[in-house]
Amino acid sequence: LLQRCVGKGAKMVQEAFRLAKEKAPTVLFINEIDSIGSKRNNSDSGSDQEVHRTMLELLTQMDGLKVNEDIRVIAATNRPDVLDQALTISDRFDRKIELPLPNEKARERIMQIYAQKM
């Protein structure tokens, strides 16, 4: 969603939600939401402003969803510690599911599964 051209990220968010409404029932998956949903700072750099605009558009679109629209938004991050409170303390995401690293036994099983494919 981050783009070099100013305003493109926000337009992409608008388009994603427009398409989701058109094609509902829909699941929107945002991978690495921390790239646009990090804690805001007071930087005046163009890239920081673009990230801020993109996140504001995401928040606006999520707030505009109606319960009966049958659209679900799922986001993933490996940096929950850097997410802006606007995303984490609101009802925008009603669940947080942590997927911890697999333990030693699980890692061994994963290796066995993938080794069979070699």
Tokens of 77: 């991050």
The CATH classification number of 8-116 equals 3.40.50.300
| Helix residue ranges, H only, the chain | 8-23, 34-37, 46-63, 85-88, 104-116
- Residue pair 46/6 in contact (Cβ under 8 Å)? The answer is yes
DSSP type of residue 53: H
User: For the chain, what are the domain ranges?
Assistant: 8-116
Tens of pLDDT, residue by residue over 35-60, are 888 876 655 555 678 888 899 999 99
Share of the chain above pLDDT 70, in %: 86
The helix/strand/coil state of 98 is coil
- Residue pair 87/43 in contact (Cβ under 8 Å)? The answer is no
